[in-house]
Amino acid sequence: MATDSIPTCRWGIITTGLISSWFVADLAMPRSDAKANHIIQAIGSSSVEKGNDFVAKHLKDAPNQKPAVYGSYAEVYNDPNVDCIYIGSPHGFHKRDCLEAIAAGKNVLCEKAFAINAAEAREVFDAAKKKGVYVAEAMWLRHRPMVAELRKILYEDKTIGEVFRTTSDFQMYVDMANLPSTSRLRNLDLGAGSLLDIGIYPLTWNILTLEPDAPAPRPKPKILAAQSFVEGVEVTTSAILHYPESGRQGIITSTTEKRSGSKKIVATIDGTNGFIEVEGQAPSHPHSFTVYPKWTGDEKPEGKKYDFVRPQQGFIYEADNTALDLAAGKKESAIMPWSETIRVLEIMDEIRRQGGTVYPVDKA
């Protein structure tokens, strides 16, 4: 595709951790179907040395990407050649990093969970509105083409009839006893716990499959939740979401006490005329789904599988949509508007309230 016919976005990357490495690798990959040109303009790290190591490791196959490397985040925020800041820091730092970028007049795409709680998100969006900049939560799952196709099958084609239940579970193992107290997976100041880190994905699958398109803001479901703890850190969350008007129910579970092994079904959607199984490495990494007719006999019926090519990690979809939003002069994402980010955090706030997880910022 001719690159002069599509918008260009110059990115400033905040932090040099795993999630940022995935994001820049996706930005840098060549594509014939690109919707935007992505330039990695600047890298912000705790030191120039770490930043240079990040570039050497993750952009070695992208000679056209030659970002400036800074030993502070402020230098990225103040770089006049940066159009949008990607924030890949732990969610305990998201409010701080967003507010600093906004204060510098920069647009922002911030990783999930967008903040520790809904109050923090409101503060960020208020600042963005006053400054007149674009801010969006980088919930990459919502931007994937397979999600749009799945929702079409559910609510336009109604292939499985009326949806009445969704279940989704995310498992990973964290050796809590051997983590340093400063780890984001153990430190409550940084939002430690399975819910904000991985439970947000089962919650997202429930929201995407149980709720037809409706004008924002959407209603919140009724919630029944419980949580378990190790050394004061939430390690297992289970919650039931109930939508009184439709009768639909969602079951979300997350734990950092068990590795998922070879499990391939990351979500199941049940309807009155059939069911759908979403396959993938984890709820955050889906690659296909299979639509089945109603199961009435002893053996599982034959289904129709929908496979989706995932370029690299799949971050490119949210990056493209952000670039298109900026080119159109938008201040928030239609896919993940501010009201939806706040609503998701309010749901997680209520799950934590019932489960007993209290972060220091909740007391502020």
**Structure confidence by residue, pLDDT tens digits, 305-353:** 999 977 788 999 999 999 999 999 999 999 999 999 999 999 999 999 9
Is the confidence at residue 73, as pLDDT, over 70? yes
Q: Is 120 in contact with 361 (CB distance < 8 Å)?
A: yes
Q: What is the pLDDT of residue 2?
A: 47
% of the chain beyond a pLDDT of 90? 90
DSSP SS3 for 177: helix
pLDDT at 15: 98
Instruction: Say if residue 301's pLDDT is above 90.
Output: yes
pLDDT for residue 119 = 98
> Whole-angstrom Cα distance, residue 250 to residue 348?
14
SS3 176: helix
At 21-56, the pLDDT tens digits run 999 999 999 988 899 999 999 999 999 999 999 999
Report which of residues 200 and 262 the model is more confident about: 200
Length of the chain: 364
Residue 1 pLDDT level (bands cut at 50, 70, 90): very low
- Indicate if the pLDDT at residue 159 is higher than 90: yes
> What's the pTM value of the predicted model, to 2 decimals?
0.95
287-to-74, 209, 270, 277, 363 alpha-carbon distances in Å: 37, 16, 19, 11, 40
How high does pLDDT run on average in the chain? 95
Determine which helix (DSSP H) or strand (DSSP E) holds 59, and give its type and residue range.
Answer: none
Residue-wise pLDDT for 47-70, tens only, equals: 999 999 999 999 999 999 999 999
Q: Please determine, for residue 169, whether its predicted confidence score (pLDDT) is greater than 50.
A: yes
E strand map for the chain: 8-14, 37-44, 68-70, 84-87, 107-111, 135-138, 163-171, 222-230, 233-242, 249-255, 265-271, 274-282, 285-293, 304-307
- 317 Cβ contact partners less than 8 Å away, ≥ 6 residues apart: 140, 143, 144, 145
Q: Which residue has the higher pLDDT, 49 or 176?
A: 49
One-letter amino acid identity for 269?
Answer: I
Q: Which of 149, 143, 62 lies closest to 109 in space, CA to CA?
A: 143
**Sequence-separated (6 or more) residues with CB below 8 Å from residue 80:** none
CA atoms of 322 and 333, how far apart (whole Å): 7
What pLDDT score was predicted for residue 218?
77
Instruction: Provide the 3-class DSSP secondary structure of residue 285.
Output: strand
DSSP 329: T
Residue 343 and residue 328 in contact, taking contact as beta carbons nearer than 8 Å: no
Q: What is the average per-residue pLDDT within 287-296?
A: 97
The residue-averaged pLDDT of 111-135 equals 99
Q: Are 93 and 189 in contact (CB under 8 A)?
A: no
pLDDT given at position 213: 77
Which residue is it, tokens 């709720």?
Answer: 211
Determine the pLDDT at residue 217. Answer: 67
